[in-house]
Chains A and B, each alone.
Chain A
Amino acid sequence: MLLIHCPYCQEERPELEFRNTGEAHIARPADIANISDEAFEVFFFLRDNPKGLTYERWRHIHGCGRFFNAVRDTVSDKFVTTYKAGLPKVAVVRADDGSVRVSDRVEGAGL
């Protein structure tokens, strides 16, 4: 069972307390009622499903109840970082040995 760091509780808690809620950083269009079919398809249906680093949303549903974002490596299943919902996408870099860390260059990273 994975341990996941909740950026609100500031604690690592067991995976059972959390729920994955899909890909992160997909903003609901402000003028959604008037977007084209193609734009709606991109917004609602198309997802990346990458092998490697993925940005996803989690909810600490059996804890504080808050939604947050995470960067996870789908190959190693390791979380690189988690950060509060609403913060900008955190940039990460992969080192030569394959390990991944939060890039130093981005403000607010690692929250």
Chain B
Amino acid sequence: MSGANRIAGKGRLTPARTVRFTFDGQALTAVEGDTLASALIANGIHLTGRSFKYHRPRGMLSAGPEEPNALMDIGRDSARRTPNVRATVQEVFDGMQAKSQNRWPSLSFDIGAVNNLASPMFAAGFYYKTFMWPKAAWKKLYEPVIRNAAGLGVSPSERDPDHYANHHAHCDVLVIGGGVAGLAAALSAAHAGAEVIICDEQPEMGGAFRHETDTTIAGKSGFDWAQAVVAELRAMDNVRVLTRTTAFGYQAQNHVGLVERVTEHLAAPDARLPRERMWQVRARQVVIATGAIERHMVFANNDRPGIMLASAARTFLNHFGVAVGARVGVYTANDSAYNAAFDLKRAGVSIPVIVDVRPQVDAALLARAADLGIEVLTGHAVVDTKGSLRVRSMKVARIGGGGGKDYAIDALIMSSGWTPSVHMYSQSRGKVVWDEASERFLPGVHPQASMSIGACNGTDDLNETIAEAVRAGRESAEKAGVASGGGWAPPAAVAGTSWAGNMMGSGEGAGPDTTVKAFVDFQNDVTAKDIRLAVREGMESIEHVKRFTTNGMATDQGKTSNIHGLAIAAEMLDRPLPKVGLTTFRSPYTPVTFGAIVNHSRGALFDPTRKTPMHDWEAAHGAVFEDVGQWKRAWYYPRTGEDMHQAVNRECRTVREAAGLFDASTLGKIEVVGPDAAAFLNLLYTNSWDKLEPGRCKYGIMLREDGFIYDDGVVGRMAEDRFHVTTTTGGAPRVMHHMEDYLQTEFPHLKVWLTSTSEQWAVIAVQGPKAREIIAPLVEGIDMSSEAMPHMSVREGRICGVPTRLFRMSFTGEAGFEVNVPADYGKAVWEAIWARAEPMGACAYGTEAMHVLRAEKGYIIVGQDTDGTVTPDDAGLNWAVAKKKPDFVGIRGMKRPDLVREGRKQLVGLQTRDPKIVLEEGAQIVADPNQTVPMKMLGHVTSSYWSENCGRSIAMGVVAGGRSLMGQTLYVPMPDRTIEVTVTDTVFIDKQGERLNG
């Protein structure tokens, strides 16, 4: 059996097709197509969770996405587990493991329920007021305990093994919602020739026809008509039908996010299928047909398991064939609950009474009730309920009459009316408008290319809805500019249910003079009393009330509670409801998983990885890599038994004693070409380029307009009109952007063309006394003698038979070359050079040794020794600033008063008194270590290393007035000691630079 409450002959599921699942470990049977909610109710289970704050027993309130209570942990296996899933949305699959949340040790006996007894303590704003003192206790004591006690599900700890898909889709008309309005609009637009996407969150379209069974359209029941329309739409080439697909976000320019649950309902999904599919739809026109959501009644103890929306009970009966109880009370302010009662009664369920707050009710409804033998009490209210883990009785009293009579029940269905779902409209930045006649917020002017139709637009009448939808479909196609001659005539329809009747706020017995728990927001345990308290405490704006009480927050976002909360606040404030205002609806409409959002962007696809042409050789030779932006750079090459320190020391020593090979391919490279190339560089760099002869190189500094160093690099002049510019590795894109900006917008008169060539050139730095000897035999067409090719020159020729731009330059202080070859030849040329270098005692060295070697020579790294507030003078680079140029970027900025004052931080060398101590980069520098805290900081250490070549530690730092402090002692206070340092110049080795010319 698939549950004792299954009613033979009712519903649309096939009883023979059963599936097995567990709930809190208990094995249960469902029917294929059941939601977890319908399956539990079929098995007589209404208790599905404990409330957030008071840990009150709760059951299903709804049968749809608005569900605030029945949040479950749904598992397929240990890695596939999702918390906070609404049981009313999750379809049961064979083998599903469902667990209740927020209870300990068990659902029926929960220790946290003492919160309910202590509830006077837990009024709105309680946390804000109580856990304030002492301040330190909040983080360590209060917050962890509160978070532990109150909370929803537990996030999974294992890596998600599934994959997710992402689609960008374009269409003429997107229809959101597959109820009668959406289906009619889609068919109308499709027949008019538009490319249409229609989506609906349910497995089958039909909207309200899932519960409403009294309507006929074109001679069929509403639901059957809907399925026929879906079949027709699916057969059309210009229509895409998406079920189990929620439109969750309406962004600018009709960009709508949909999430499709592809395998969440399948017992054994094909591993090739994505678990969910994200659709990013860009639609010329959007038709919003999102219907309406029924509201509950606000009365004392309205939250016991078994108390639910009338439409939910009707859905469980008419769609799933499940009775929500054997003896069901009805409490309503809306006509549609009568139809629910009639359906239940006809299915054999006892309806002891329909309690209607309205003094006058439609005579036809009363007559139908009488025919079925159901008692109706108009002008009455349910004022209280009893029952611990399930509702057992309700107390009914005449409004204003006091007293009351108890009715034994095992379920209570209720309706205070229907709230148009204006979420999508509101997300599109539309402002809702209060409709006085029908007392509800409706869409106003649509700010985007969209329209709202049907119940979400306040259109209640069935035939009006169909007419409106057909019109909207046609108009959308026309506005999208694709309408052809075709069309679709609205079918004849006879409505079976009236949706009239509306009540907002608290009912009889839950007014301002009471202290009962009449829940407004089930998920956040917000009662009518809490809303009133918020107003009494001075919250006048509904946004403040929301945040003080948490009404309308969390996973259901107030779909059932917002209007009630607003009405109670308005009553307390004695203001008309529209004057209090509605909170803004924001994306997402319902929760979206991180899996769907993150999608493909995880693991190796999270961020691109850039590798140089020599990467594989480096990896094969044991390189340890470091991430430099997106680049993988060889950091050091440890030999067997070496740690990083030993490897770097060896590499540094070998470069100065013999030679080293370094992969400098990541350097940014920009080809600057044109008759005005030199004039352009004159404007972009501090240096002057006019006199640089073709075949020579120069170290250049680039400033921003504010006068601070932006980038640096060596620039080679290949010809009168052609420069080979290098930038820092990290600076390559921004330098290109900076150059393009000036070229296009400030100096467009210059005839210059810029091309990024960073990835076109592989760069092999060969540095050290044996550098020339290593590469000379491989080079053709270039005289490499020191006389013919001095330091800072560049030649074009061939190496290993491939074209090269050969730079004689050095970032180590040794004589050296940088071999530029087309990237595809990088690895082959590297291997050829290596074959000569290795027998000559050279090594490959990584970025760490490169850092040490350049620091030994006092060469700066922009971004390490500078930080965006360092001028050329601060860095000791005044020699690189042309004095006679009339203009360059930064020429005015660097003359600002603060940039030329005395006492600015200047880059200096630092030597520790104890040569073995290596300073920490970033450590602060002071003059007097014994001063009181906070000390006066003079500057900080920017670069610091152990220098094997110097036999001691070396460091650079920026120090206020540093160049006037040469030889003086300063201090670096550390947590465990104070380190004495001497201020020096920044060159620690070969101060005369003789090795460069070797």
Contact = CB atoms under 8 A, between A and B. Distances in A.
Contact of B745 (A1, A67, A76): A67
A40 B893 contact: yes
A28 interface: yes
A85 B253 contact: no
Contacts of A28: 705, 746
B45 interface: no
Interface stretch (B319-327, B763-771, B884-892): B884-892
Given A3-B253, A59-B737, A85 B745 contact: yes
Contacts of B429: 76
Nearest to A65: B740
A2 interface: yes
Contacts of B891: 32-33
Contacts of B741: 21, 59, 67
A47 to B, nearest CB: 14
A2 B252 contact: yes
Contacts of B886: 33
Interface string B407-441: 00000000000000000000001000000000000
Interface in A32-85: 32-33, 35, 37, 40, 44, 57, 59, 61, 65-67, 76-78, 85
B387 interface: no
Given A32-B891, A59-B737, A77-B252, A67 B744 contact: yes
Contacts of B706: 44
B896 interface: yes
Contacts of B748: 85-86
Interface string A14-27: 00000101000000
Contacts of B252: 1-2, 77-78
Contact of B892 (A2, A35, A66, A85): A35
A66 B746 contact: no
Given A1-B255, A44-B706, A76-B429, A37 B744 contact: no
A40 B896 contact: yes
Contacts of A85: 744-745, 748
A109 B741 CA distance: 23
A66 B744 contact: yes
A61 B741 CA distance: 11
Interface string B880-916: 0000001100011100110000000000000000000
Interface residues of B, number: 23
B447 interface: yes
A1 B744 contact: no
A1 B896 CA distance: 41
B363 to A, nearest CB: 47
Nearest to B747: A28
A60 to B, nearest CB: 11
* Interface SS of chain B: mixed
Which of B252, B737, B745 counts the most chain A CB atoms within 10 A? B745
Interface string B708-750: 0000000000000000000000000000010011001110100
A65 to B, nearest CB: 6
Contact of B253 (A2, A44, A67, A86): A2
A33 B892 contact: yes
B893 A61 contact: no
B251 interface: yes
Interface in B232-273: 251-253, 255
Contacts of B745: 57, 67, 85-86
Given A1-B251, A37-B896, A76 B447 contact: yes
Contacts of A77: 252
Contacts of A78: 252
Contacts of A3: 253, 282
A79 B762 CA distance: 43
A32 B886 CA distance: 9
In the complex, which range does the number of interface residues on chain A fall in? 20 to 34
A40 B893 CA distance: 8
Nearest to A69: B745
A54 B891 CA distance: 29
A65 B745 CA distance: 12
Contacts of B896: 37, 40
Nearest to A77: B252
Contacts of A21: 741
A103 to B, nearest CB: 23
A85 B741 CA distance: 11
B887 A33 contact: yes
Contact of A44 (B282, B447, B705, B744): B705
B887 A61 contact: no
Contacts of A67: 740-741, 744-745
Contacts of B746: 28
B737 A32 contact: no
B113 to A, nearest CB: 47
Nearest to A33: B891
A77 B447 CA distance: 12
A1 B741 CA distance: 25
A59 B743 CA distance: 13
Contacts of B447: 76
A55 to B, nearest CB: 14
A53 B282 CA distance: 26
Contact of A61 (B253, B737, B892, B897): B737
A86 B745 CA distance: 7
Nearest to B255: A1
A2 B887 CA distance: 39
A32 B887 contact: yes
Interface string B746-762: 10100000000000000
Given A21-B741, A66-B744, A44 B893 contact: yes
A85 B744 CA distance: 8
A81 B335 CA distance: 52
Nearest to A86: B748
Contacts of A61: 737
Which of B253, B282, B746 counts the most chain A CB atoms within 10 A? B253
A49 to B, nearest CB: 19
A94 B289 CA distance: 32
Contacts of A86: 745, 748
A21 B738 CA distance: 10
Interface string B271-285: 000000000001000
A28 B893 CA distance: 12
A72 B975 CA distance: 52
Contacts of B893: 40, 44
Nearest to A1: B255
Interface string B854-874: 000000000000000000000
B165 to A, nearest CB: 19
Interface in B32-57: none
Contacts of B255: 1
A65 B255 CA distance: 25
A1 B251 CA distance: 7
Contacts of B897: 37
Interface string B154-171: 000000000000000000
Contacts of B887: 32-33
Nearest to A4: B253
Contact of A40 (B253, B740, B744, B892): B892
A89 B888 CA distance: 26
Nearest to B890: A32
28 contacts: A1-B252, A1-B253, A1-B255, A2-B253, A3-B253, A3-B282, A19-B737, A28-B705, A32-B891, A32-B892, A33-B886, A33-B887, A33-B891, A35-B892, A37-B896, A37-B897, A44-B705, A44-B893, A57-B745, A59-B741, A65-B740, A66-B744, A67-B740, A76-B429, A76-B447, A77-B252, A85-B745, A86-B748
Given A33-B891, A44-B706, A66-B744, 15 more contacts: A1-B251, A32-B891, A33-B886, A37-B897, A44-B705, A57-B745, A59-B737, A59-B740, A61-B737, A67-B744, A67-B745, A76-B447, A77-B252, A86-B745, A86-B748
Q: List 10 A-B pairs, minimum CB-CB distance, nearest first.
A: A67-B744, A32-B892, A33-B891, A28-B746, A3-B253, A2-B252, A85-B745, A67-B745, A40-B892, A1-B255
